[in-house]
Amino acid sequence: MTPPEAENHGPVRVAAKYHFTYEDGTPYYSIGTTCYAWTHQPLPMQEQTLETLKASPFNKIRFCIFPKHYDYNLYEPLTYPYEGTPCDISELSKDNFMEYKPDNNGNKWDFKRFNPEHFQIIENRIKDLMKLGIEADLILMHPYDRWGFSEMETESSALYIKYVVARFSAYRNVWWSLANEYDLCEKKSIKDWEDYAHIICEKDPYHRLRSIHNCKAIYDFTRPWVTHCSIQRTEIYLSAVNTKAWREQYGKPVVLDEVGYEGDINYSWGNLTAEELVRQFWTATVRGGYCGHGETYMNSNDKLWWSHGGVLYGEAASRLKFLHDILCQVPGLGLEPADIKKWEENSATAAHPGFRNKYYLFYTGHTRPSFKEFEFEPGKSYKVEVIDTWNMTIEDRGVYAGKFRIFLPSREYMALRIQEISV
């Protein structure tokens, strides 16, 4: 056995019930992004995506093993997962292409013969991500499909699950997501998902993190095989608000993998401002959870990050790095919602019961108070800093005790970091 390299902290595990650490105990604060079909693009674009990720704050990326057919992504993939041929779409018009669903005879696949090239590309990308310190959140199934992969019968689906687990589970940065929007997979029942989960639990000797993602109906995350909640928005502007409630309901880490995307496309979920996406991140954070990024800006290349990867055009990413830097300074493993009656919901304390000095983080969100008042335990001293989460500045306001007032610039998206100090 050889010692790990300096940047190898091992796989990510659940810790302290609601949080994550690497195997060596280093805290892991998820700042994820989504690029559903980036491994199905031409190889030069895949390389471009890796270069973008290298300079980004993202330490997790969600993507599909099967190709995806959806608006803004109607191309044939670079490779297919099975030996065979796809249906002929040459005569389809642009008007009906999006709604096209082939009959069972349209595609000719041998579901017992995997295409090694398809999986080799994904395997190479997993290794590339591992070198960058990025978790590969592999989406095993999804409903956005014109090739028939979402409608495979039970035997073929089980064989596929066994194959990907055998092939990818050895990589320390792999997470398993059974599905993207499981409740839209019309041919799959809850029993099917439970059976697939059983296969993963049985065949994965390393016990990688496991979850499943919803469209409307949130899955029962109390199921024992689920390691963490992977949640899509329930309402565009309110998803992060529910973080604390979901923690209490399911008793597991809450990762809001899809609260909406920074962008300007026609769908409401894909035209959030950067400010709104960053607000969702901060709201989820101070309520004890984690949030996910995505970007859907129209551009001259007609390639949206959310599906194709490539380059980022938005303003959120740098602000998310700022947030991650702040999280890395939190004592312990993460943040817990502050259980102090007189303070608002957007407040958190360090998740470290053994830490002697108190730590608090407050967030104003879309409100803009001119001051905040606090009252702490007598005889204790507290260092106060005012954080502008959008302009990415931290201002030292000095040391306070007892009851005190902190003046703010009456701007949205401000935060206060208050830490007990020994004097």
Contacts of 164 (CB under 8 A, 6+ apart): 65, 119, 138, 140
- 61 vs 317: CA distance, rounded Å: 14
Dihedral sign of CA atoms 91, 94, 97, 99 in order = negative
Query: Are the C-beta atoms of residues 170 and 206 closer than 8 Å to each other?
Result: yes
**Predicted confidence (pLDDT) per residue in 7-64, tens digit:** 899 999 999 999 999 999 999 999 999 999 999 999 999 999 999 999 999 999 999 9
Query: Are the C-beta atoms of residues 147 and 153 closer than 8 Å to each other?
Result: no
What mean pLDDT do residues 126-132 have?
Answer: 98
Residue 75: CB atoms within 10 Å = 15
DSSP bridge partners of 387: 394, 415
What mean pLDDT do residues 101-114 have?
Answer: 78
Token representation of residue 314 = 């938005």
DSSP for residue 407: E
pLDDT band at 354 (very low <50, low <70, confident <90, very high): low
pLDDT band at 100 (very low <50, low <70, confident <90, very high): low
**Predicted confidence (pLDDT) per residue in 136-160, tens digit:** 999 999 999 999 999 999 999 999 9
Q: Rounded to 10 degrees, what is the CA torsion of 38, 41, 44, 50?
A: 10
Is the pLDDT confidence value at 98 over 90? no
**Angle made by CA atoms 33, 365, 367, in degrees to the nearest 5:** 155
pLDDT band at 92 (very low <50, low <70, confident <90, very high): low
45 backbone dihedrals φ, ψ, rounded to 5°: -70, -35
Token representation of residue 219 = 């899955």
Q: Which of 70-84, 287-301, 350-364 has the lowest mean pLDDT?
A: 350-364
pLDDT: which is higher, 309 or 349: 309
At 118 the pLDDT is 98
Among left, alpha and beta (phi > 0; psi -120 to 50; other), residue 332 is left
Is the pLDDT confidence value at 353 over 90? no
Give 101: exposed, middle or buried? Use CB within 10 Å, 0-12, 13-18, 19+.
exposed
What mean pLDDT do residues 300-324 have?
Answer: 97
Token representation of residue 267 = 């769908």
At 139 the pLDDT is 98
Among left, alpha and beta (phi > 0; psi -120 to 50; other), residue 128 is alpha
DSSP for residue 39: G
At 93 the pLDDT is 54
| CATH number, domain 335-421 | 2.60.40.3950
**Predicted confidence (pLDDT) per residue in 234-260, tens digit:** 788 888 999 999 999 999 999 999 999
At 91 the pLDDT is 57
Q: Which residue's structure tokens are 């984690």?
A: 290
At the topology level, CATH places domain 12-327 in TIM Barrel (3.20.20)
Ordered by start, the domain boundaries in the chain are 12-327, 335-421
pLDDT: which is higher, 337 or 99: 337
Contacts of 209 (CB under 8 A, 6+ apart): 12, 13, 14, 175, 176, 227, 228
Whole-prediction pTM: 0.95
Query: Are the C-beta atoms of residues 40 and 50 closer than 8 Å to each other?
Result: no
* % of the chain exceeding 70 in pLDDT: 93
pLDDT band at 183 (very low <50, low <70, confident <90, very high): very high
Query: Are the C-beta atoms of residues 152 and 82 closer than 8 Å to each other?
Result: no
- 240 vs 198: CA distance, rounded Å: 30
